[in-house]
Amino acid sequence: MVLEAGVKPYLHTLFSEPCLDKSGKLVGVIVDGKSGRGVIRAKYFVDATGDGDLCYRMCFETYESPRRQPPTTCVYLEGWDSERFHDLLKAHRHEFNIPEGYAWGAKIPGTEIYMLAGTRIYGVNCADINDLTKAEIEGRRQIRAMMDLVRKYGGDYKMGLVSLPATVAIRETRHVKCQYQISDEDAMTGRLFHDAIANGSYRLDTHHQDKPGLTFKYLDGTEVYERTGYPREIGRWRDVTPVNPTFYQVPLRALIPQNSTNVIIAGRMLDASEIAFSGIRVMVNMNQTGEAAGVAAYLALHKNISVSELSSEDVRQTLTKGGSIII
């Protein structure tokens, strides 16, 4: 699809530094890759690095949540048996120094292979190279420890490691201060925005940094604390109401960094407070921010205007023409 659209991809290429003209305007990005160092020049840029690397190095204001969601190394396994695995883990995880986190997984459709997202690496900031290195090593150590634990105590239960992913999976690092920060209340009450470019219905889902497990907050006011191997704790974060919102929205302003003329963001570095981010961060929502950022960059280029001058109605109409559901 990328090639069919006439886009020139650069694989195995990392953004390193912004390239500014004398007036301080971003005119290119310095990249490092197999052929060494180079510059990709452009008029408009979309920062989709997850960590907001471009915005950070442009010295745009960024911030981090004090309880940033921890990363996880996933794994493909064969011979998965949820009950036996979790019983063994609960009984012996201390011996193998496996921290208690939250385990989620599913069979890969059409196969007997199980994808487990079951490690948890606490206290690391994956936008920092030292912490990212530590997280990469620790995530793999935890997988190895799980395999060793099953080998030692599993008896006739055999679990095989099929493959590891190329990198640790990162839930959250920096956020970029934008024209608007989506507040927890905005998401929890399903606030509608005049410049909405994305709609999400995934429950608010906080993987805890300061305790095991995760907390789901549903738009109907239900709250569920889940900790693998323990009963669910079900409560409410607000009283019962006759009508509940069924979705929340992402406004275009949460993708336009403050003081930016030609940089837009897409993805998990968007401007959202802690609980709002916990639901908005999922793929179906991030895809919508990517599409909106691309359309916004196209319109700004076409009209030769700053991204701060964009008409959100133009962006919404163009998205609608492209088949997006814009409410």
Ligand X SMILES: Cc1cc2nc3c(=O)[nH]c(=O)nc-3n(C[C@H](O)[C@H](O)[C@H](O)COP(=O)(O)OP(=O)(O)OC[C@H]3O[C@@H](n4cnc5c(N)ncnc54)[C@H](O)[C@@H]3O)c2cc1C
**Contacts with ligand X, residue ranges (CB under 6 A):** 14-15, 48-51, 53, 72, 74, 117, 169-171, 267-268, 281-284, 286
CB of 11 to ligand X, least distance (A): 10
Nearer to ligand X, 9 or 231 (CB): 9
Give the Cα-Cα-Cα angle 256, 260, 265 (nearest 5 degrees).
Answer: 40
Nearer to ligand X, 49 or 142 (CB): 49
Q: How far is the CB of 130 from ligand X (least distance, A)?
A: 16
Residue 297: CB minimum distance to ligand X, A: 16
**Dist CA 13 CA 302 (whole Å):** 27
User: Of 248, 255, 251, 257, whose CA–CA distance to 276 is shortest?
Assistant: 248
Location of structure tokens 């659209």 = 5
From the centroid of its chain, how far is CA 65?
14
Question: What is the three-class DSSP state of 150?
Answer: helix
Query: Looking at beta carbons only, is 91 or 137 nearer to ligand X?
Result: 137
Closest contact distance (angstroms) between CB of 283 and ligand X is 3
- Cβ contacts of residue 131 below 8 Å, gap of 6+? 124, 125
Give 72 or 215: the residue with its C-beta nearer to ligand X.
72
Q: Contact 262/306 with Cβ under 8 angstroms? A: yes
Query: Closest-CB residue for ligand X?
Result: 267
Rounded Cα distance between 40 and 15, Å, is 9
CB closer to ligand X, 32 vs 220? 32
Query: What is the closest distance, in whole angstroms, from the C-beta atom of residue 73 to ligand X in the complex?
Result: 8
